[in-house]
């Protein structure tokens, strides 16, 4: 596990420090990702897990110690319309920053680079296509995903978990996968060949999302599609780590490393990393590094 991710996980899950300390260690930025796949509408509704009457509960809370840190909680089953609700929640999370920079032409990008957003998950699954749309927005805007102890992330929810550039399913959380299940009414009017082709196309799109777009593990995806849709495979904490569901996006890790080298220098930054790992004291480690090397490359 990269030391930078180990530091972040320790700070955010065990120490519950403010996001101000986190942002000193890893800055956020906006990046472009692929557009929404047009084939989704033709494939139809996919559901995972059980049905509930209402859409997911999506709420925004603020870090009381920091104006530029927000948490978005997605709770219960994911349904159509939740992407719009999540987009509104993201806008709400950025609203304080938007008010500060006002009419500046770069205001939106500036706020997304300054506000850290953790997406907390507690969902048994739901509409996979809606989950993919939410996941793409999370990945695009460099948000983090997390499953806290005692909470669950199953079925379609796992596609959202994987979208975080930093992913923290905490010890004591429950993450489970299974094969996506199509709406029965949709399949009822298809011939066997049509059903097979449709299913294979859909699995191909999910694979493209999970592996190509979100840099997910091929083995994690294999476990999904080989677990019957009426069963679940609960992943152990070791499996979550080995499969990359507990980890950091490689491109984001490289990006953050470059930013930190630019910020601290090529000599100071390795010292700060080595110091923060065992101590968790970022401010203290920064001070020591600057005392040892007042000037850096």
CA distance 132 to 152: 18
CATH class of 25-249: alpha beta
With CA atoms as reference, report the closest residue to 232 among 134, 296, 158: 158
d(CA 56, CA 270): 42
Place of tokens 């609203």: 95
Q: Tell me: pLDDT of 124 over 80.
A: yes
Q: What is the pLDDT of residues 45-63, one digit of tens each?
A: 333 333 334 467 888 887 6
CB distance 40 to 129 below 8 Å: yes
Alpha-carbon span 21 to 75, nearest angstrom: 27
Task: Enter the pTM of the model.
Answer: 0.75
Predicted local distance difference test score (pLDDT) of residue 55? 65
Print burial letters for 56-83: b (CB count within 10 Å at least 16), e (below 16): bebebeebeebebbbbbbbebbbbeebb
- What pLDDT shows up at residue 243? 96
Beta bridge partners of 197: none
Identify the pLDDT of residue 25: 38
Residue 4 predicted with pLDDT over 90: no
d(CA 127, CA 40): 12
H or E stretch covering 148: none
Tell me the pLDDT tens digit for each residue of 67-88: 677 899 999 899 989 999 999 9
Virtual torsion, Cα 206, 209, 215, 220, nearest 10 deg:
-10
Asked if 117 and 23 touch (Cβ cutoff 8 Å), the reply is no
Lowest mean pLDDT among 54-68, 182-196, 223-237: 54-68
Label residue 18 by pLDDT band (50, 70, 90): very low
Res 255: pLDDT? 84
Domain ranges of the chain: 25-249
Compute the distance between CA of residue 108 and CA of residue 223 in angstroms, rounded to an integer. Answer: 39
Measured from the Cβ of residue 18, the count of other Cβ atoms closer than 10 Å reads: 16
Task: Examine the pLDDT at 39 and tell me if it is beyond 70.
Answer: no
Cβ count within 10 A of residue 278: 9
């Amino acid at each position: 596990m990269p030391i930078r991710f180990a530091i972040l996980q320790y700070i955010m899950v065990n120490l519950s420090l403010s996001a101000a300390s986190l942002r000193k260690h890893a800055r956020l930025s906006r990046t472009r990702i692929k557009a929404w796949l047009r084939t989704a509408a033709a494939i139809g509704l996919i559901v995972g897990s059980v049905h509930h009457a209402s859409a997911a509960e999506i709420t925004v809370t603020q870090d009381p110690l920091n104006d530029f840190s927000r948490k978005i909680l997605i709770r219960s089953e994911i349904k159509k319309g939740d992407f719009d609700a999540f987009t509104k929640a993201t806008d709400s999370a950025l609203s304080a920053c938007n008010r500060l920079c006002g009419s500046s032409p770069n205001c939106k990008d500036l706020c997304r680079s300054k506000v850290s957003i953790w997406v907390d998950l507690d969902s048994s699954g739901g509409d996979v296509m809606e989950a993919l749309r939410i996941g793409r927005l999370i990945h695009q805007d460099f948000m983090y995903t997390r499953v806290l102890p005692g909470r669950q992330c199953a079925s379609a929810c796992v596609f959202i978990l994987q979208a975080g550039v930093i992913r923290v399913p905490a010890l004591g959380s429950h993450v489970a996968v299974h094969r996506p299940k199509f709406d029965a009414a949709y399949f009822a009017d298809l011939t066997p060949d049509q059903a097979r082709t449709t299913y294979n196309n859909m699995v191909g799109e999910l694979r493209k999302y999970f592996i190509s777009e979100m840099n997910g593990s091929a083995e994690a995806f294999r476990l999904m599609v080989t677990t019957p849709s009426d069963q679940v495979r609960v992943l152990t904490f070791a499996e979550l780590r080995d499969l990359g569901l507990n980890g950091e996006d490689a491109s984001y890790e490289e990006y953050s490393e470059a930013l930190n080298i630019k910020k601290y220098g090529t000599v100071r930054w390795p010292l700060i990393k080595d110091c923060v790992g065992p101590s968790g004291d970022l401010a203290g480690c920064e001070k020591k590094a600057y005392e040892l090397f007042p000037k850096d490359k």
